[in-house]
Structure 1
Amino acid sequence: MNRKTNTINVTVSIFIATFLSAIEGTIVGTAMPKMVSDLGGIEMMSWVVSAYLMTLLITTPIYGKLADLFGRKIMFTVGILIFLTGSILCGVSQTMLQLIIFRAIQGLGAGALSSISFTIIGDIYPFEQRAKVQGWLSSVWGIAGIIGPLVGGVLVDYVSWRWVFYLNIPFGIVSIFLLSISLHEEFEKKKRYIDYGGIIAFTVAILSLLYILDRPWKSMISPMFLAVSILCLILFFIIERKSPEPLFPLHLFSIRSINVANLAIFLLGSVFIVISFHIPLWIQGVYGAGATYSGLVMMPISITWPLCSIMAGRLIPKAPLRFITLLGSIIVFIGCTGLALASVETPVWLFMIYTALIGAGMGFATTTYTVAVQSAMDWKLRGISVASFRFMQSLGQTIGITVFTTISMTQAAKYLHEHLSKQDASHINVSQIFNNDHSTSLSSSNIQSIKEAIAFGLHKEFFILSVIVLITCLVAIWMTQPKSSLENKEGNTKKAEVH
């Protein structure tokens, strides 16, 4: 007798897993200055984020495809176990290099949380319920956003930054348990073909691309990695055309709603990751506040995002998707423009208004794009369809944090070089303001120069982010409704029985 899926328990499990994935960004961002202070290596700071996003990026489509082949439950469980192992290792890191390596391991598991969670929601709910549940699921990001900065700030200020990683363990265990006893899938058991050639070509291409982004073009080796990336991408598409079970079925790229959603989430992902990690830098570096205070400044995002996600879930069955995504993008643009106009004298309450607007816009846009992608394909291809969407989001995040950290730090260093004497400029850098031992040895004028340098670098960055969001507004205009014919076929193609 076939067992039926317990929808409520599975949904709770997915919400917990989403909470783990969501809190990772906000809590680590709040703890970053203290990590740099304890472990050193500010020049490698972006890699604490990039290493995690890099492996998450590569594994997201792989998990999505494997979930289509072998089922959601087994691949989801494997992913969480790897994620928890990486979390424990991050907590015991003694150097910045160790932390970066262990964050990469964490990302290897996070790829499952990133893609399979949303795929399962698409499996067990029809379109109208899916929109509402997706709205509530997106609210988990908001809840994590509220709890993450505050808990992260308290842990950093009063316990240890290492506990921001240990915090993942109990939640991960509960999620695995609930899913293992509640999700029951039916799919044809036969020998599965795994696209190893496509996986290898794809991995090498993306790793080469990310290496180029993190290295100055004056390096002799950069052109070689660019050539490797291009050749591997060409090889990847050749393999995918001939593969019986391609990692990325190429016909996905002929579906307009998927293309629009993927491009938009790439741009929005790059914007939001930079804001999440660099507003705390402004609050702690420019205003001289603590980690807990910077968490409070980020809190409005965590309130408006879930509220607007829930509103989007209610609007999706009634309003054109184009309208909701465009509305969200315009609101994000207004918030980013406010940040671009900020200065050292900008009051904190204005920053909180800007972050509230960004959270609201992201809630409308990301929830709607997610439902559109979930609804574009049936069960057999929903895993890779959702994974491609999450891949583009992670790609945007990885490129965004790498490129914009380089931009802001380069601009800050340039400012110091131009405004300090040669003697001071030779031994003063931005990281000193985050370390109490070093900052106390600086003169008040040098401290002020460092604050102005940070503001100068981030100001340039926020302006570019505003332009990117403006492009996202134009992309949103091309959004289309999901095809109702796919929803009519849902009952015949879905592989999980639910009640």
Structure 2
Amino acid sequence: MSNSEEVEKDVDKDAEKAPDAMDVKGQDLHVKGKESEMEYPGMMKRALIMLSVYFSVFLITLDQNIISTAIPQITDEFHSINDISWYGTAYLMTMCTFQLLLGKVYKHYPVKAVFMGGVFLFEVGSAICGAAPSSAVFILGRAIAGLGGSGMITGTMVIMFHTLPLQQRPAWQGAFGAIFAIGSVIGPLVGGAFTNNVTWRWCFYINLPIGGVSLLVTLLILNIPGQKLEPRASTFIGKMKQLDMLGNLVSFPAIICLVLALQWGGTIYAWSNARIIVLFILGGLLWIGFIAIQVWKKEAATVPPRVVKHRSVLGAMWFALFNNAGMMVMIYYLPIWFQAIKGVDAIRSGIMLLPTILATVVGSISSGFIISKIGYYAPFFIFSAILMPVGAGLLTTLNTDTGAGKWIGYQILFGLGVGFGNQQPLNVVQTVLDRPDIAVGSAVVVFLRFLGSSIALPIAQSVFLNHLIANLANLPSINPEDVVKGGVTDLRHLVTPNQLPVLLRDYNDAIINVFYIVVATSSLMVLSCFVIEWKTVRPKK
């Protein structure tokens, strides 16, 4: 019998011993695997490790958002207007595609090595983007950076698990949400500053020193003596089976089909176009195949079915999908409302978005500290599921005459809802899952976060454009294509002063219809509140 076969037999035996997650009862369950036996670094070393991890999270968020203001200059230099969609899609596809596989990799290989590999690939991708001589090379760099980022984002969760005691994790976890929120606003501003004052290439070169610091600190400081790796097969075929490459080879094209269909549908191609229909059908069939493989492979699957059958994990997955979807749509389209309706520039619109960002930061950090004190995260799922749809609903009342008091107050409600909830799904998987399953559980949650925004943003764009074009029928002297291609900054130059109020009203209506998507997605989060159990992160006395 080969070593790989022995490993698979051992896994099957463990599966038989594993309890059904749905049968676990009790109100104060904490991480199985004996939290008291875990070894953690001292406070100073712990702080340095988490600082390095925060650098990595900031890098990913910055890179995801910094490109928006650099795209015009990039397309001018490469004469690549037709490649614009690929600049975001290439990064997003690899970021989503490899999340689930890397959750499996972190179970079998040292966290330090895998995480550093992710940072290194991200740095390589950034360097390629910065030095790219052509659009094709730039797209390649974006894809490599996305692959590295997928390893980094899952790795941060795994590192935190091995660095911090369970009771302390929510407080540190709250800072992740704050960093994501800050990076989402700083990214476009930094990108605009580099593009206008230096060169767009520095939008990617800036990642090199920050990533270098993260690599150095990880190399020198990170040490996980208590990490218990699952047995690894010695043969190549055995390792491929162990990582469920069959399942991943099916999930990769499934994700790509879905992302491409949503990115292209309604913009590059009509939703009724044969390409879009084929992508949706093929993607759906591949997803069915992936699920069937996971059920068949059981414990050897990329996502063992018993992990996602746990009611709290299911609730966390549902919540993560819709929480991030609503947040990203609002962060993208609220600045457009400020620029179009209030007539401010990009920098000013970023400042006007601060109520959302600051409220998100306050909500994320405060919820983390409170959970560390009281032990329970379930109340913050409820707070988030109430405040987000209420805030989004109030934002749908915005019009051309809305004053600052209203749009500031509405943003605060929405931002608090985002902050209270955005890190809670990760707290769930770190609390209710067995120690070996936390990497996979974290990867699933992170994957669904990116998938949520990948689905919601293209839908929002399609809704916005369709309503805008339909509304512009009220101005027969205006070519809708000129308004769409001209962008927000040229909006007021396309019409006469007498026509401007009508144009702004129509533009406002199109954006408000996008906000209804946020109301819908954030309202769906409430379903998770009925299935997530009241577990505590505090150790039993």
TM-score of the superposition, structure 1-length normalised?
0.86
1:177 paired residue number: 216
Q: 1:483, CA displacement in angstroms? A: 7.2
CA contact (8 A) 2:375 2:536 kept: no
Structure 2 residue 232 is matched with structure 1 residue 190: yes
| Cα separation, 1, equivalents of 2:74 and 2:281 | 35
Match of 2:319 among 264, 281, 285: 264
Secondary structure of the structure 1 residue equivalent to 2:482: coil
Question: Quick one: structure 1 residues 48 and 271, their matched pair in 2 at CA, closer, same or farther if it must change by over 3 Å?
Answer: farther
Kept in 1, the 8 Å contact 2:40–2:163? The answer is no
Provide the residue aligned with 1:130 in structure 2: 169
Verify: 1:248 aligned to 2:303, yes or no. Answer: yes
What one-letter code is carried by the residue in structure 2 that aligns with 1:315?
I
Give the conservation status (yes or no) of the 8 Å contact 1:336–1:358. yes
- Among candidates 384, 408, 411, match of residue 355 of structure 1: 411
Deviations 1:345-389 (A, max 9, x none): 223553333333222111111222221122222332111110000
Q: 1:21 to 1:398 in 2, by over 3 A?
A: same
Q: Does structure 1 retain, via aligned residues, the 8 Å contact 2:377–2:427?
A: no
Which of the numbers 462, 479, 482 marks the counterpart of 1:425? Answer: 479
Whichever residue aligns with residue 284 of structure 1, its letter is Q
Q: CA separation of 1:138/1:439 partners in 2, compared to 1, >3 Å: closer, same or farther? A: closer
- Mapped to 2, the partners of 1:330 and 1:39 lie a distance apart of 46
Secondary structure of the residue that 2:532 maps to in structure 1? coil
Asked whether 1:113 is paired with 2:162, we answer no
Counterpart secondary structure, 2:125: helix
Contact kept? 1:83, 1:106, Cα under 8 Å: yes
1:341 Cα deviation (Å)? Answer: 1.1
| 2:455 pairs with 1:402 | no
Aligned to 1:58: 97
CA distance in 1, matches of 2:377, 2:493: 53
Structure 1 position 391, deviation (Å):
0.6
Aligned-partner Cα distance in 2 for 1:242–1:78: 31
Q: TM-score, normalised by structure 2?
A: 0.80
Partner of residue 515 from structure 2, selected from 432, 450, 462: 462
CA contact (8 A) 1:46 1:401 kept: no
Go from structure 1 to structure 2 and tell me whether the alpha carbon gap of 1:297 and 1:37 turns closer, same or farther (over 3 Å shift).
Answer: farther
Maintained 8 Å contact 2:307/2:437: no
Where in structure 2 are there 5+ consecutive unaligned residues? Answer: 1-38, 234-238
Greater displacement, 72-81 / 380-389: 72-81
Matches within 5 A, 1:83-232: 83-91=122-130, 102-145=141-184, 147-185=186-224, 186-188=227-229, 190-191=232-233, 192=239, 193-213=242-262, 214-215=264-265, 216-232=270-286
Offset from partner CA, 1:477-497 (integer Å, 9 cap, x none)? 332134779x78xxxxxxxxx
* Structure having the higher Rg: 2
For residue 338 of structure 1, what is the amino acid of its counterpart? L
CA contact (8 A) 2:55 2:211 kept: yes
* 1:373 paired residue number: 429
What pairs with 1:464-479 in structure 2 (closer than 5 Å)?
A: 464-479=517-532
Kindly state the Cα deviation for residue 421 of structure 1 after the two structures are TM-superposed. 2.2
CA distance in 1, matches of 2:310, 2:339: 44
Q: Residue deviations 1:271-298, cap 9 Å, x none?
A: 1111122222222233332221121122
CA distance in 2, matches of 1:313, 1:427: 47
User: CA contact under 8 A between 1:322 and 1:477: conserved in structure 2?
Assistant: no
Residue in 2 that maps onto 1:300: 355
Q: 1:4·1:184 contact (CA, 8 Å) conserved in 2?
A: no
Alignment counterpart, residue 287 of structure 1, candidates 332, 342, 353 = 342
For 1:13, which of 41, 52, 72 is the aligned residue?
52
Between the aligned partners of 1:36 and 1:340, the Cα distance in structure 2 is 34
State the distance in 2 between where 1:100 and 1:181 align.
Answer: 33
* RMSD (Å) for aligned C-alpha atoms: 3.2
Structure 1: distance between partners of 2:435 and 2:152: 18
Query: Are the aligned partners of 2:483 and 2:494 in contact in 1 as well (CA < 8 Å)?
Result: no
Q: Which residue identity is paired with 2:344?
A: A
Quote the offset at 1:472 in angstroms. 1.3
AA paired with 1:196? M
AA aligned to 1:194 is L
